[in-house]
């Protein structure tokens, strides 16, 4: 039983929907992690918070004129001490940490000061109805809260040694408390010789203990679900998200993934030398950025073009995120296998005309090359996302009825606009596909010509939704009919753009065609919007994009030549994929960890606060 058949039999639409929902939730959480303002804004906000906090503290200790002087002094002192300490922490203590540059270090301090001055404001308000000692107590309680926050954040996200993390956590609040002590002495507040230092020692012990128990509990979620601490996985993820390092996160995926035998379908067009290839892997190009197989479409294209000296396009197959490769090592294994097996003979000189059938919901295109059917599916202008592999299994069974040797099935992945009823869409696709295949097989096969070209627009980047594979156009001429296959290295496209592109191609002499995206996830997690990426055409100017596509089409039309064709399916064994089970757990891990944090945050930190307040009653 083939790999496709085995997987199709155990895949359900419910699972696909659940997995997609989990992925969406993970993207939403992850994309909200690093929305930090610029360094200038962080510094400005920090200065503002320090000045306001300084006045709020001084107003309960001095008359109006003295309050203005001491409040300004306090705010400015705290601000400059904070900037100096953060610079030292970033450049010395956390020097080799890829996460904590100066902007992120100062941003952490800004959040800490917002928390600390909340306690100061509360203390100032309480002291109006009690006495000024409550201002001091809440100041010191805020010190402890900031210390706990810094210990948790730095231990969760930094790769420095524990000694450096402890020093980086303690240094900022300890340094910044000094101006407050000076102001209290100037105001004549009776600070005990040993009570305040003793509190600081006790505060550090309680803060370290409570932060340890908090993180220990969160790490337990990951250990139970995956066998690894949650924070270790989170740190590896941060390294990729922030520093673009793929190996740490991929090491986890390699250990947790599952082995599969993968297939790659090749359609080869050959004249006196290779003319063009259509390569369709049974691999999903994800999960994001440079992790796993996210860059597979452009890498396959680059390596094959380098070896064979022809144009290559890599449209999207029918598989979802469960078939993301676990690492770039696995990626290279597949690429090497394809390159090694790409030099096969061609045995047919005929193709049938391009056929397109639609029923209002589904559109299927089919063209017979030799003894192989090439089909594509779309729901455009409705959302066309990942389809279940059972659709491919259905088409292969239909193709066998007509005596075809092979069948290459492509998900056009060319429209995103809300959601669709997948069961309804699947039924429509099967009906239309059977009709389209029947019609294509009945067409007369003739000698045919191929033209191909690739353009890499320099003005479009990953942040715009364009991968390194650029735009590829393959023109097929059968009789008088000219068909264009446009492949854009991106993750889907905005609704309506496909229709604009097909309409524009008429002006250069193309009769019909289809537009595909590779579904590359190299464009994912590089922008911080709700979706986590930009589909093709969301920020890219449509007219500019269409002009490049027309340019590629004109180039392809100019190098048309008669070719022979053959189709071959390559299998690659022992490839580690992320797998449906692991992917589901990875997507749910952050939700489970957050839920755990919500349950334990009050008991742990309320207990810590109570202990600290009992000590503060004697300060």
Q: What pLDDT, in 10s, does the model give residues 136-168?
A: 999 999 999 999 999 999 999 998 999 999 999
Give me the half-sphere count of Cα atoms (radius 13 Å) on the Cβ side of residue 233. Answer: 24
Please give the average per-residue pLDDT across 580-590, as a whole number: 81
- Domain membership of residue 264 (yes or no) is yes
Is position 588 within any domain?
no
Q: How far is 487 from 44, CA to CA, in rounded Å?
A: 46
507 with 388, same domain: the answer is yes
Name the band, by pLDDT with cuts 50, 70 and 90, for residue 9. Answer: very low
Q: How far is CA 329 from CA 153, 237, 280, 325, 523, in A?
A: 32, 18, 19, 9, 20
Q: Is 186 exposed, middle or buried (0-12, 13-18, 19+ CB in 10 A)?
A: middle
Q: What is the mean pLDDT of residues 296-301?
A: 97
Is residue 510 classed as helix, strand or coil in its secondary structure? Answer: coil
Split at pLDDT 50, 70, 90, the class of 23 is low
Backbone dihedral angles phi then psi of residue 80, each to the nearest 5 degrees: -70, -35
Of the ranges 362-371, 385-394, 522-531, which is most confident? 362-371
Q: 39-48, 74-83, 291-300, 382-391: lowest mean pLDDT where?
A: 382-391
- What's residue 417's pLDDT? 85
Mean pLDDT to the nearest integer, 90-119: 93
Give 40-55 as a 3 state SS string. HHHHHHHHHHHHHHHH
Q: Distances from the Cα of 33 to the Cαs of 413, 416, 527, 590, 604, in angstroms?
A: 28, 25, 12, 12, 24
Residue 407 in any domain: the answer is yes
Q: What is the pLDDT of residues 226-261, one digit of tens each?
A: 999 999 998 998 888 888 899 999 999 999 999 999
Cα angle 78-83-85, degrees, rounded to a multiple of 5: 90
- What domain count does the chain have? 2
Query: Are 14 and 72 in a shared domain?
Result: no
pLDDT at residue 596 above 90?
yes
Task: Read off φ and ψ for residue 257, nearest 5 degrees.
Answer: -75, -175
The position carrying tokens 């969160």 is 218
Cα 313 from Cα 503, distance rounded (Å): 22
pLDDT digits (tens, 9 = 90+) for 450-487: 999 999 999 999 999 999 999 999 999 999 999 999 99
Half-sphere exposure (Cβ direction) of 161: Cα atoms closer than 13 Å: 4
Let me know if residue 602 belongs to a domain: yes
Question: Is a pLDDT exceeding 80 seen at residue 66?
Answer: yes
Closest CA to 494 of 455, 533, 549: 533
Q: Are 552 and 599 found together in one domain?
A: no
Residue 585 lies in a domain: no
Choose the weakest-confidence range: 36-40, 262-266, 380-384, 492-496.
36-40
Of 320-329, 402-411, 504-513, give the range with the top mean pLDDT: 504-513
Considering the domain architecture, whether residues 612 and 482 belong to the same structural domain is answered as no
Run of H or E including 232? helix 230-243
Which class for 126: exposed (0-12), middle (13-18), buried (19 or more C-beta within 10 A)?
middle
Same domain, 42 and 115: yes
Q: How far is residue 537's CA from residue 517's CA, in Å, rounded to a whole number?
A: 12
Rounded to an integer, what distance in angstroms lies between the CA atom of residue 206 and that of residue 612?
8
Phi, then psi, of 567 in degrees rounded to 5:
-120, 140
Q: Are 545 and 536 in contact (CB under 8 A)?
A: yes
d(CA 351, CA 474): 14
pLDDT at residue 31, as a whole number:
52
Tokens of 440: 């294509």
pTM of the predicted model as reported, rounded to 2 decimal places: 0.86
pLDDT at position 616: 83
- Residues with Cβ within 8 Å of 18's Cβ and at least 6 positions away in sequence, in order, are 584
pLDDT at 218: 94
Q: What secondary structure does DSSP assign to 344-412, as a single string?
A: ----B-EEPPPEEEE-SS-EEEEEEETTEEEEEEE-TTS-B-PPPTHHHHHHHHHHHHTT-SEEEEEE-
Residue 601 has pLDDT above 50, yes or no: yes
Residue 222 has pLDDT above 70, yes or no: yes
Name the phi and psi angles at 282, rounded to 5: -90, 45
> Cα dihedral angle (17, 23, 28, 33), rounded to 10 degrees?
170
Average pLDDT over every residue of 365-371 = 96
- 246 lies in some domain: no
> What range defines the domain where residue 227 resides?
36-241+593-616
DSSP string, 120-182: HHHHHHHHHHS-THHHHHHHHHHHHHHHHHHHHHHHHH--S-HHHHHHHHHHHHHHHHHHHHH
Average pLDDT score over residue span 543-572: 97
For residues 262 and 586, the model is more confident at 262
Same domain, 49 and 195: yes
Average pLDDT over every residue of 409-438 = 92
- What span, in angstroms and rounded, lies between the C-alpha atoms of 424 and 13? 11
500 Cβ partners below 8 Å, 6+ apart? 542, 546
For the cut 50, the answer to whether the pLDDT of residue 7 exceeds it is: no
Residues 396 and 533 in one domain: yes
Q: Is 101 helix (H, G, I), strand (E, B) or coil?
A: coil
How high is the pLDDT of residue 376?
96
Q: Are 305 and 225 part of one and the same domain?
A: no
Judge whether 27 lies within some domain: no
Whether the CB-CB separation of 140 and 120 falls below 8 Å is answered with no
Are 324 and 561 a contacting pair, CB within 8 Å? no
Residue 545 lies in a domain: yes
Mean pLDDT of 217-233: 93
**Which of 263, 165, 147 shows the shortest CA–CA distance to 205?**
147
Do 285 and 162 fall into the same domain? Answer: no
Pick 188 or 150 by higher pLDDT.
Answer: 150
- 212 and 361 assigned to the same domain: no
Residues 130 and 168 in one domain: yes
Name the least confident of 70-79, 189-198, 227-236, 593-602.
189-198
Strand partners, 274: 270
Q: How many other CB atoms are there within 10 angstroms of residue 244's CB atom?
A: 11
Residue 44: band (very low, low, confident or very high) from pLDDT cuts 50, 70, 90 = very high
Residues 140 and 274 in one domain: no
Helix axes 195-226, 162-186, angle to 10 degrees: 150
């Amino acid at each position: 039983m083939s790999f496709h058949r085995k997987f199709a039999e155990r895949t359900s639409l419910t699972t696909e929907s659940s997995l997609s929902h989990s992925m969406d939730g993970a993207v939403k959480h992850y994309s909200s992690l690093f929305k930090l303002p610029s360094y200038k804004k962080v510094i400005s906000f920090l200065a503002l918070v320090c000045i306001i906090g300084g006045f709020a503290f001084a107003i309960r200790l001095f008359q109006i004129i003295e309050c203005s002087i001491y409040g300004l002094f306090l705010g400015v002192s705290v601000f400059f001490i904070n900037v100096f300490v953060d610079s030292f922490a970033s450049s010395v203590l956390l020097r080799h940490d890829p996460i904590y540059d100066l902007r992120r270090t100062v941003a952490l301090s800004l959040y800490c000061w917002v928390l600390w001055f909340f306690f100061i404001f509360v203390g100032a308000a309480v002291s109006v109805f009690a006495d000024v000692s409550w201002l001091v107590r809440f100041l010191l309680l805020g010190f402890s809260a900031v210390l706990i926050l810094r210990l948790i954040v730095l231990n969760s996200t930094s790769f420095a040694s524990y000694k450096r993390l402890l020093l980086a956590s303690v240094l900022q609040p300890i340094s910044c408390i000094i101006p407050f002590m000076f102001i209290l002495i100037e105001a004549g507040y009776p600070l005990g010789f040993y009570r305040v230092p003793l509190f600081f020692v006790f505060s550090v012990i309680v803060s370290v203990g409570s932060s340890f128990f908090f993180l220990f509990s969160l790490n337990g979620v990951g250990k139970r679900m995956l066998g690894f601490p949650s924070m270790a996985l989170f740190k590896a993820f941060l390294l990729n998200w922030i520093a673009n390092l793929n190996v740490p996160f991929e090491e986890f995926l390699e250990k947790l993934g599952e082995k599969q035998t993968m297939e790659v379908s090749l359609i080869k067009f050959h004249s006196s030398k290779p003319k063009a290839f259509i390569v369709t892997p049974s691999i999903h190009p994800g999960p994001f950025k440079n992790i796993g197989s996210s860059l597979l479409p452009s890498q396959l294209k680059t390596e094959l073009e380098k070896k064979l000296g022809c144009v290559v396009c890599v449209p999207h197959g029918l598989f979802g995120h469960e078939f993301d490769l676990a690492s770039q090592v696995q990626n290279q294994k597949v690429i090497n296998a394809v390159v090694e097996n790409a030099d096969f003979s061609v045995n047919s000189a005929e193709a049938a005309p391009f056929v397109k059938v639609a029923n209002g919901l589904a559109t299927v295109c089919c063209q017979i090359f030799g003894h192989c059917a090439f089909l594509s599916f779309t729901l455009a202008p409705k959302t066309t996302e990942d389809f279940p592999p059972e659709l491919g299994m259905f088409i292969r069974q239909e193709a066998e009825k007509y005596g075809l040797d092979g069948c290459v099935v492509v998900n056009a992945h060319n429209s995103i606009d809300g959601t669709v009823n997948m069961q309804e869409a699947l039924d429509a696709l099967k009906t239309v596909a059977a009709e389209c295949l029947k019609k294509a097989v009945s067409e007369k096969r003739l000698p045919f010509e191929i033209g191909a070209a690739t353009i890499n627009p320099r003005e479009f980047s990953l942040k715009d939704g364009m991968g390194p594979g650029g735009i590829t156009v393959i023109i097929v001429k059968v009789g008088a009919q000219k068909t264009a296959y446009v492949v854009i290295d991106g993750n889907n496209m905005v609704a309506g753009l496909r229709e604009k592109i097909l309409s524009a191609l008429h002006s250069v002499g193309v009769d019909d065609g289809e537009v595909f995206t590779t579904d590359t996830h190299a464009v994912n997690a590089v922008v911080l919007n709700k979706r986590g990426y930009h589909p093709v055409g969301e920020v890219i100017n449509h007219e500019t994009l269409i002009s490049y596509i027309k340019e590629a089409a004109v180039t392809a039309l100019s190098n048309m030549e008669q070719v022979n064709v053959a189709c071959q399916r390559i299998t690659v064994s022992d490839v580690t994929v992320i797998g449906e089970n692991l992917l589901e757990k990875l997507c749910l891990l952050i939700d489970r960890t957050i839920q755990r944090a919500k349950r334990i945050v009050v008991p742990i930190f309320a207990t810590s606060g109570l202990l600290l307040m009992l000590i503060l009653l004697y300060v």
